[in-house]
Every structure is written in C-alpha cells, then in structure tokens.
Amino acid sequence: MPLIDLKDLQQAAIDFGEARGWGKYHSPKNLAMALSVEVAELVEIFQWQTEEQSRGIMATDEREHVEQELADITIYLTQLVTALGVDLDAAVRAKMEMNAKKYPVKKAES
C-alpha cells in the first residue's frame, strides 16, 4: 500500500497547466523556485508567532491562509516530482529507512 499516491493530483496539475499553456514554463528549475516561494509564504505566516501561537494557528482566522499555502506547496511539489520523474512514494520510503538507521529509537530518546 503506498504511503503517498499522487496520481490524481499529478494529472489534475498537468491538465490545469496544459489548459493555460503553462507547461512550457514547468521546468525543474522554475518549479523548484516556485516551490521555495510558496514555502516562504507559509513561513511568513508563522514568522513572529510564539511556539504556542504557532501550535494553535488552525483555530485562528489564519487557518484558510495556511491551508492555501499548503495546497500551493503540494501542487508545486507534485509538479516538480512529475517533471523529474521521481517516484515520491519510493523516495519517501527510502529516506524513512535511512533515517531509522541514522536515528534509532534508543539514540533518539537521549
């Protein structure tokens, strides 16, 4: 069972871009830059908040803003993964296995 299944989102993003003639702009470089901008917009929401405020953000009027930025991030990440031909599920599984070896439970408890 996949941890991450992006097939429907990948197709929806492709269809959206193609309908507007944007596919020619969706190079890995441009998508990575756009992704970083969207992440920065999410960071900006939290920039001057305390830890406690950041944990309660979804109970504030910023909820929709956070959701919109997370959606933008997900869309751009999906487009980047598609452009690069990355199997994100396999990459995530491999990284989690690597992290499990690097940070075993006993080591992480200290």
**Spatial separation of the C-alpha atoms in residues 83 and 101, rounded to whole Å:** 30
**Spatial separation of the C-alpha atoms in residues 53 and 30, rounded to whole Å:** 33
**Spatial separation of the C-alpha atoms in residues 78 and 14, rounded to whole Å:** 10
Of 108, 91, 110, 62, whose CA–CA distance to 4 is shortest?
A: 91
pLDDT per residue as tens digits for the range 24-71: 999 999 999 999 999 999 999 999 999 999 999 999 999 999 999 999
* Paired tokens of 104: 């075993």
Predicted pLDDT at 106: 84
* Paired tokens of 7: 């097939």
**Spatial separation of the C-alpha atoms in residues 49 and 102, rounded to whole Å:** 32
What domains can you pick out in the chain, each with its CATH number?
Answer: 7-109 (1.10.287.1080)
Quote the pTM value: 0.89
Predicted pLDDT at 4: 84
With H, G, I as helix, E, B as strand and everything else as coil, classify residue 56: coil
